[in-house]
């Protein structure tokens, strides 16, 4: 019996194609990296030599040299301290923990809200405006209050920050869980009805798998949100051990040591991208779908 | 008449929750003797909201204008860039992963540098808000513009439609749901950007500073009143975008169907 | 009305919405166990609706459907029938094996039992070796065979089929018709088969119920007295064409005034 399917070309042909693809991707990455650096240095050079002050004045403090920023990572964080890179990685790990816990809490809460809203129209009409409105509450303002509320309960000192991180995380997850569950193929639901399947069975076996693409798209947004939430949460909480503390610290000394803050930004960016990539890779293995057909 | 009744039944539960929530809050604070620094009473917050309005409302408006202009700039550049990249498809799809990665960066960490560039007045906050809005809008608009079904493009080509016509009549309606979804997200991000930006350095006329200062002075009712102002503005902004969405979608009913 | 009837449709009417479209009107039908009955009619005549009334997926406005003497609702809860839809409705994220074993999972069968039964059925529909594949790796015809296997897992005495081959090309359809008859003979279930195609209806069934345009009524039930087992030769039989013509003319009558002519004209 002939097999119908997307079986590939001959073996050596496939290998060749894969290698070329990888080279292409690496090439584009290097190109983008080079272009960004060139843009930065070019902009800097141009504004330095012409002395233009719009949109902002460029000097060695506004835009340190790229080499200085990179080399700063290897210099000591402060006098007689380990290199900045080491310090920043430690801080990043601290923030990462808060963000990861916040992501987990936010994802669970978000999914729970999505499921409840899916099954109960009344709950949805009652609470959805507040769920949406909750995101307009400036978390920076309630962060100190969360710290006070949760402090002294025997919880680790960074737990309030994780809660704040969860606050930014739960919303996209809730919205997309609801959308995913609501948009299940009605024919599949009819099939399950013909099997007299229980609501729970249908939820677990059909609705959830169908909404995985929506869930993961929310998780990707939530990954970034959890890191942002963790950083913002640290700012007013006088927590020194995370990236938020590092940003505050180096912002204070910016006029003396601008490269340090730029270097911190780079590490923070890498952290955000790392979280995102973890979710993206997980998605690749978990969500199995037919290839899409778009122009 | 039934539409009005329909609208009331739609909003009644939410209204009920609001009333119950506020009443419950008020009673709980009284009953448990919760102290002000933990949670003031809604009545006290509302009193402060009214008493301090000469300071808080202008500050809120000031912060809102920062967010608004940041939104406008970020969204314009985002949509513009997406339109260009949709035209040069190869470039767009090659760069897409990088834009997605860029929207994963906590741009908020850049706020102190923006303050160093532009000073602590409006411009730095507008810059941060714009930067926050740019990438999500770019990614979603580009996705929307390129998610047209091939059959629709083929149909238009069979009518010998020019590229521009295809763009106008097919790609724009298809991308509208994506664009508006990202605009709603951007409106929230812009407000966050403005307020957090102020935290790193701002003047009295900004809401973020008001929150910071009143909390520092233990005037918690004022701090919460300021938060209330921020919420009202944020919700208002979001609703304005939603209204724009409804009005625009009315002209393009096919956009709703295209989303499915 | 005997309790021996596999399916009894008693005065079933269906109106959608208050004062909306009347899909079915006073349907009275009896199907005997082991029969193969086709429902055919112009578009919108309610044949799919009638099938869903039998399957308790749609509630009739009036009347009732009985399956083996039981009300349709009870029959659904007792899982007395299997259903095959026009779209295979396979779960993208499950392998073929897991797709077929879905009803058995719902019924709480043990894993070994499930695996054996699935293997048995895939052999019946001639898809052995595809257990680990995913639905999108299979052609439309193969996906429908998987759907049929799935409908047969718990050995139902009644199979409901809603234009299962409608989306397939003619050659595949002809092949699957033969396969369906073979499977039917192996399982001796009652089959209620909705179709647009006159040739398909006459080829497969022992009786063809011709329905009128909306609101759907039973116009006539045509006895198909061609011998089983039916083969490709049956399609070239003179009597086959006579019966097909009879059905076609009934349909033309029921159409009277409508533009669309059914397939096989």
Structural domains of chain C, with CATH: 1-80+158-164+189-265 (3.40.50.300)
B120 close to A (CB below 8 A): no
Please say if the pLDDT value at position B44 is more than 90.
no
Q: How far is CA C149 from CA C71, C107, C184, C195, in A?
A: 26, 16, 12, 19
Of residues A187, A209, A290, nearest to C89 (C-beta):
A187
C44 close to A (CB below 8 A): no
Closest to C69 measured CA to CA, from C157, C184, C192: C157
Of residues C57, C92, C137, nearest to A194 (C-beta):
C57
Rounded to 5 degrees, φ, ψ at C255 are: -70, -50
User: In the structure, do chain B and chain C come into contact, i.e. share 3 or more CB pairs under 8 Å?
Assistant: no
Q: A288 to chain C, minimum CA–CA distance in Å?
A: 6
* Residues contacting residue A258 through CB under 8 Å, at least 6 positions apart: A60, A61, A62, A64, B116
Summarize pLDDT for C55-104 with one digit per residue, the tens. 999 999 999 999 988 899 999 988 889 999 888 889 888 899 999 999 99
CA distance C132 to C117: 15
CA distance A48 to C60: 81
User: In the structure, do chain C and chain A come into contact, i.e. share 3 or more CB pairs under 8 Å?
Assistant: yes
Of residues A196, A206, A287, nearest to C76 (C-beta):
A196
Summarize pLDDT for B209-227 with one digit per residue, the tens. 888 888 777 788 888 888 9
Structure token digits, residue A208: 């959830």
Q: Return the pLDDT at A7.
A: 43
Q: Which fold has domain B40-259?
A: MetI-like fold (1.10.3720)
Which residue reads 């620094």 in tokens?
A: B37
Q: Return the pLDDT at A193.
A: 92
Chain B residue with minimum CA distance to A146: B38
* Pairing mode of beta strands C207-211, C36-40: parallel
Q: Return the pLDDT at C146.
A: 94
Q: How many CB atoms lie within 10 A of CB C54?
A: 28
Average pLDDT value for chain B: 85
Please say if the pLDDT value at position C261 is more than 80.
no
B22 close to A (CB below 8 A): no
* Residues contacting residue C29 through CB under 8 Å, at least 6 positions apart: C7, C8, C9, C209, C218, C221
Structure token digits, residue A268: 């923070």
pLDDT means per 10 residues, chain A with 295 residues, are 41 73 86 89 85 78 84 81 86 94 96 95 90 89 82 81 94 92 90 91 91 91 93 84 89 87 92 93 80 48
Higher pLDDT, C95 or B39: C95
B108/A228 Cβ within 8 A? yes
A55/B118 Cβ within 8 A? yes
Q: Return the pLDDT at A48.
A: 83
Mean pLDDT of B239-246: 91
Least reliable range by pLDDT among A108-122, B137-151, C195-209: B137-151
Contact of B129 with B190, CB cutoff 8 Å = yes
Q: Strand, coil or helix: what is B19?
A: helix
Query: What pLDDT band is residue C1 in, cutting at 50, 70 and 90?
Result: very low
Summarize pLDDT for B157-176 with one digit per residue, the tens. 888 878 787 777 788 888 88
CA distance B25 to C222: 73
Mean pLDDT of C220-239: 90
Rounded to 5 degrees, φ, ψ at A265 are: -60, -40
Q: A115 to chain C, minimum CA–CA distance in Å?
A: 21
Of residues A187, A193, A288, nearest to C134 (C-beta):
A288
Q: Return the pLDDT at A288.
A: 67
CA distance B137 to B102: 12
Q: Return the pLDDT at A224.
A: 92
A27 close to B (CB below 8 A): no
Contact of A159 with A240, CB cutoff 8 Å = no
Which residue reads 């008020």 in tokens?
A: B26
Contact of C136 with C153, CB cutoff 8 Å = no
Average pLDDT value for chain C: 88
A195/C103 Cβ within 8 A? yes
Q: Return the pLDDT at C103.
A: 92
pTM (two decimals): 0.84
Q: B121 to chain A, minimum CA–CA distance in Å?
A: 13
CA distance C83 to B228: 56
Q: Indicate the Cα dihedral angle A197, A198, A199, A200, nearest 10°.
A: -110
* Pairing mode of beta strands C70-71, C62-67: antiparallel
C103/A1 Cβ within 8 A? no
ipTM of the complex: 0.84
Mean pLDDT of C134-153: 91
Q: Which residues of A touch C137 (CB under 8 A)?
A: 4-6
Please say if the pLDDT value at position C117 is more than 90.
yes
């Amino acid at each position: 019996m002939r097999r119908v399917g997307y079986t590939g070309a001959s073996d050596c042909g496939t290998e060749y194609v894969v290698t070329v693809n990888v080279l292409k991707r690496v090439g584009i990455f290097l190109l983008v990296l080079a272009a960004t650096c060139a843009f930065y240095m070019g902009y800097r050079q141009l504004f330095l030599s012409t002395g233009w002050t719009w949109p902002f004045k460029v000097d060695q403090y506004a835009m340190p040299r790229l080499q200085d920023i990179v080399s700063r990572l290897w210099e000591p964080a402060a006098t007689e301290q380990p290199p900045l890179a080491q310090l920043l990685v430690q801080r990043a790990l601290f923030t990462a923990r808060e963000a990861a816990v916040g992501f987990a809490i936010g994802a669970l809460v978000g999914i729970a809200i999505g499921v409840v809203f899916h099954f109960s129209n009344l709950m949805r009409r009652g609470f959805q405006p507040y769920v949406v409105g909750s995101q307009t509450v400036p978390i920076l303002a309630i962060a100190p209050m969360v710290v006070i509320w949760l402090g002294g309960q025997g919880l680790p000192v960074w737990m309030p920050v994780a809660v704040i991180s969860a606050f930014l995380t739960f919303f996209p997850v809730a919205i997309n869980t609801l959308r995913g569950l609501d948009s299940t193929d009605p024919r599949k639901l009819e099939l399950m009805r013909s099997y007299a399947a229980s609501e729970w069975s249908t939820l677990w076996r059909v609705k959830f798998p169908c909404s995985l693409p929506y869930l993961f798209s929310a998780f990707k947004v939530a990954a970034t949100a959890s890191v942002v939430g963790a950083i913002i949460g640290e700012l007013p909480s006088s927590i020194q051990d995370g990236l938020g503390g590092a940003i505050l610290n180096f912002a204070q000394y910016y006029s003396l040591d601008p490269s340090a803050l730029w270097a911190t930004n780079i590490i923070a960016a890498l952290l955000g991208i790392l979280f995102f990539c973890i979710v993206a890779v997980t998605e690749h293995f978990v969500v199995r779908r037919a290839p899409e057909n778009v122009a | 008449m039934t539409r009005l009744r329909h609208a009331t039944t739609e909003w009644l539960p939410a209204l009920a929750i609001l009333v119950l929530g506020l009443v419950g809050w008020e009673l709980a604070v009284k009953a448990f003797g919760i102290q002000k620094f933990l949670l003031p009473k809604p009545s006290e917050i509302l009193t402060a909201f009214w008493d301090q309005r000469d300071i808080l409302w202008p500050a809120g408006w000031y912060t809102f204008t920062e967010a608004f202009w940041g939104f406008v700039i970020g969204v314009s550049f985002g949509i513009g860039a997406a339109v260009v990249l949709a035209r040069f498809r190869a470039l767009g799809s090659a760069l897409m992963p990088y834009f997605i990665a860029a929207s994963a960066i906590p741009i908020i960490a850049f706020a102190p540098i923006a303050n160093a560039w532009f000073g602590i007045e409006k411009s730095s906050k507008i810059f941060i808000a714009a930067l926050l809005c740019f990438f999500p809008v770019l990614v979603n608009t580009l996705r929307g513009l390129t998610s047209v079904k091939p059959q629709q493009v083929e149909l238009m080509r069979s009518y010998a439609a020019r590229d521009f016509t295809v763009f106008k009549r097919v790609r724009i309606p298809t991308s509208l749901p994506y664009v508006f979804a990202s605009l709603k997200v951007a409106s929230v991000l812009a407000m966050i950007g403005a307020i957090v930006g102020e935290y790193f350095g701002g003047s009295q006329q900004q809401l973020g500073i008001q929150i910071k200062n009143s909390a520092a002075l233990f005037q918690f009712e004022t701090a919460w009143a300021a938060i209330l102002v921020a919420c009202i503005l944020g919700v208002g902004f979001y609703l304005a975008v939603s209204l724009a969405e409804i009005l625009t979608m009315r002209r393009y009913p096919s956009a709703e169907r295209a989303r499915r | 009305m005997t309790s021996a009837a596999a399916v009894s449709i008693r005065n079933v009417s269906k109106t959608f919405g208050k004062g909306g479209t009347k899909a079915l009107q006073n349907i009275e039908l009896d199907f005997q166990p082991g029969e193969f009955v086709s429902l055919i009619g112009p578009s919108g005549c309610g044949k799919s609706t009638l099938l869903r009334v039998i399957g308790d997926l749609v509630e009739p406005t009036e009347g009732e459907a009985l399956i083996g003497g039981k009300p349709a609702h009870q029959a659904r809860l007792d899982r007395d029938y299997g259903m095959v839809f026009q779209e295979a409705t396979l779960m993208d994220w499950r392998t073929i094996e897991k797709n077929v074993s879905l009803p058995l999972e719902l019924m709480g069968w043990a894993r070994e039992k499930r695996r054996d039964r699935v293997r048995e059925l895939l052999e019946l529909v001639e898809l052995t070796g595809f257990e680990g594949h995913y639905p999108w790796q299979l052609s439309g015809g193969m996906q429908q065979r998987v759907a049929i296997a799935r409908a047969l897992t718990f050995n139902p005495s009644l199979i409901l089929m809603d234009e299962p081959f409608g989306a397939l090309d003619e050659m595949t359809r002809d092949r699957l018709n033969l396969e369906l008859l073979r499977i039917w003979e192996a399982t001796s279930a009652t089959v209620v088969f909705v179709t647009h195609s006159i040739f398909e209806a006459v080829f497969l069934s022992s009786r063809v119920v011709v329905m009128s345009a909306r609101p759907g009524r039973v116009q006539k039930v045509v006895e198909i007295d061609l011998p089983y087992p039916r083969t490709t030769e049956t399609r070239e039989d003179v009597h086959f064409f006579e019966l097909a013509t009879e059905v076609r003319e009934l349909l033309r009558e029921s159409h009277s005034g409508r533009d669309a002519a059914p397939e096989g004209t």
